[in-house]
Amino acid sequence: MLIYTGGTIGMRRDYNSGSLVTFDFQNVLDEIPELRLLQCEITHCAIRIPIDSSNMQPEIWGELVEIIEQNYSCCDGFVILHGSDTMSYTASALSFMLQNLDKAVILTGSQLPIGDLRTDAKENLITAIQIAALQEEGKPCVREVGLYFEYKLYRGNRTTKISAEQFEAFNSPNYPTLITSGVHLEVRRELLLKNESGLPFKAYKSMSSSVGILKLFPGITKDFVEAILLKSNLKGLIIETFGSGNTTTTQWFIDLLEQAVSQGFPLVNVTQCPAGAVSMGDYGTSLELRRIGIISGKDITTEAALTKLMFLLANDPGDYNHLKARFEESLSGEIG
């Protein structure tokens, strides 16, 4: 099943006006006749109101989950067409909302509209469908939420967008590529997520929006941090720290974090570096965080950390220690 949410990949250029318009997915085979060569039957649908991905909201993630849940028994795989700007957030969110998957859910998009001469849309779409339909011994080869872009399939919750202009727009800094598309599809089976629990597929539609991200920077002030920790209605916060999880050791900062944790307010430590992991205690500037009981994001991306916190707050809150334990374990292959 092909699910259209919006984005550049679903646009074509009106050469009379020069503007971009959404093309009719009823005629997708006319637009991309190469799809007829794939050995699968393709059905399609769209969310109620297709959007630019900059307008993505948790409610739309719930709508996508509902579409997949309703068609789960009759489709062998799903491809979601999505704008690239927030694709990593959606891929991460769906990886938590769709538990115990035994089918592929592949997100893809493009940097250029589907009708442009040098478009990357056709290859991304064709190969994403081919991967979603890929089977071994009558069972789907990929059984997780993936993101396919520019000849590579990544684990969705390990990705981040790295370029607004290059065709290679995404990267997975802390986990290898799952499938590389060349003359043949090179599948690294040992890296694919395996649902060994034996539990049935379960769909969750709720996410908490009462979360935020605080990126540390030299010169950050007490008033600024207080405004976020004490004067907002947040229920949890991702803190992007320096290096391997380091922060300022200024007393007011440590005191504010300790006060928040003592009140059961979840604080998650993730690194603002493009690659690497949080390891609290390696340096003196993170020892206090470990003492306080700050949640370690380990090698998680900011996108996955944010959506994981949204998921846990909505579906498995518990007390601080419960949420800390749940966050620090892998739910869908998002941390090593």
Q: What is the DSSP string of 230-272?
A: TSS--SEEEEEEBTTTB----HHHHHHHHHHHHTT--EEEEE-
Say which residues have a Cβ less than 8 Å from residue 330's Cβ, sequence separation at least 6: 336
N-terminal to C-terminal alpha carbon distance within the chain: 31
CA–CA separation, 203 vs 155, rounded Å? 19
Q: In 3-state terms, what secondary structure has residue 63? A: helix
CA–CA separation, 283 vs 290, rounded Å? 11
Q: What is the DSSP string of 98-124?
A: EES--SEEEEE--SS-TTSTT-SHHHH
Does the annotation count 127 as an active-site position?
no
CA–CA separation, 231 vs 224, rounded Å? 10
Helix axes of 284-292 and 251-262: crossing angle, nearest 10 degrees: 20
For the chain, what is the radius of gyration of the CA atoms? Answer: 21
Exactly one of 8, 127, 271, 301 is catalytic; which is it? 8
Cα 75 to the center of its chain, rounded Å = 22
| Residue among 201, 188, 204 at smallest CA distance from 152 | 188
Say which residues have a Cβ less than 8 Å from residue 206's Cβ, sequence separation at least 6: 62, 314, 315
Q: Which residues are catalytic?
A: 8
